[in-house]
Amino acid sequence: MSIDNIVNVQISRDTASVSRAGFGTPLIMGINKGFTPLSKVYTNYNDVLLDFNASDKEALAANAVFSQTITVKQLLIGRRATSDTVMITVDNAVDNITYSCTINGTVFSVNSGGSATPTTIATALFTAINLGSEPVTASDNLDGTYDLVADVASTPYSVKVDANQSIAYTASDTMANDLANLSIENNTWYGLVLTSRVAQDQLDAAAYIETQKKIFIAGSADADIADTTDAADSTTVAAVFKSLSYARSAVFYHPPAANEYIEAAVFGVILPLDPGSYTAALKDLVGITKNDITATQRTNILAKNANMYSEVGGVGITEFGTVGEGEYIDIIILVDWLDARITEGVFSLLTRLPKVPYTDGGIAGIEAEITKVLQLGQALGGIATDPQFTVTVPLASEVSQGDKAARVLNGVSFVATLTGAIHATNITGTVTL
């Protein structure tokens, strides 16, 4: 007889955990064909340059993220749905250098030779591409441009050209659909950066983000944000965000926004930190121009709940990190974090145990999960210890038979005070002899 017949030990591994919502990953969304999935993860700027040129908007935004002193571990670059056809323009003709077009990782290159023109270079590249085996066909427009079209409709392909060429893309779906479809494929991102500076694109992105538990920051060089009073402004992105009381969409007024992604830099600074431990105000941003903001412009910007980056006392500072409705960005993120962690904790309890009984003990288990998250929020500096938070749960004897029959626990709540942050101070003093 085996000892197992007397003592039978079975050890199960209780190591499975609920997938945790992340708050440290920005998404840079643009119109591109840098890769064939809808998004790609990058952990450093050099890897971004494998798919994009340094002058591409996606690379500019990624550089702004990764350039910060302490920055995110990773970011996503996403691509909007585009038409099957793209047009490539030879912008600069230089004799005796290499021009290239990389399709699905295959490099097609030609030497421009002597007396080069955009037309001769485009013709040479068109010819080289069609001699290859990639599932695209090139056509020469005989004017220094050439087109690429997918051999099979709606089949994605990646394309990258050298710095002397540029690619024209056309979006083929709505902003909302593009963001939703990308999120189905990869929803690990939290902060949205849009490469487009078109106001309607930013408004469309904001309308979608307001339906999600995410944050969008728009960068805008629209002078009316700064030069028009709040009362007279109804058309800028800042004015619209405020009028619609957007709680998840913010605007940074930034005159060099065409080539600088201030919002990417802001995300690069704050997203590596634990929610509750930071504010989006008073941050010095690496690689971002400090703007000369007049007192009148500052009043107009802040009145619209918009933000800016300027130099004060020789230091660059962001002011003041608010969303359209006027709430602070860090508060929105902290509330999202509390929501996610409490949901995950309670769900893990319900699924980890054989059952959570409808008893005072079972209810106490749910109370403990909520308490655990609130205590962590205190440790991170987001929730005050004075006054102390309270968690309220019913006694099992107080629950209606209907709720017990439906196996639903109602009457659970908590009250917690946020620590907030000091963005300015007034000091008075007296000195005597």
- Position 21 scores a pLDDT of 73
- The C-alpha atoms of residue 126 and residue 17 are separated, in whole angstroms, by 52
- Residue 274 pLDDT grade (very low, low, confident, very high; cuts 50, 70, 90): very high
Compute the Cα dihedral for 372, 377, 380, 384 and give only its sign: negative
User: Taking Cα atoms as reference points, which of 249, 198, 244, 247 lies closest to residue 221?
Assistant: 198
The two most distant CA atoms of the chain are separated, in Å, by: 98
Place 16 in a pLDDT band, splitting at 50, 70 and 90.
low
Provide the pLDDT for residue 15.
47
- Residue 111's CB: how many other CB atoms inside 10 A? 13
> What's the pLDDT at 2?
60
The residues, ordered by sequence, that sit 6+ positions from 18 with a Cβ below 8 Å of its Cβ are: 344, 347, 348, 351
pLDDT for 9 beyond 90: no
User: What pLDDT digit, counting tens, does each position of 37-69 carry?
Assistant: 999 999 999 999 999 999 999 999 999 999 999
| Phi, psi for 72 (deg, rounded to 5) | -70, 155
Residues 102-108: what's their mean pLDDT?
A: 98
Cis omega before residue 387 (within 30°)? yes
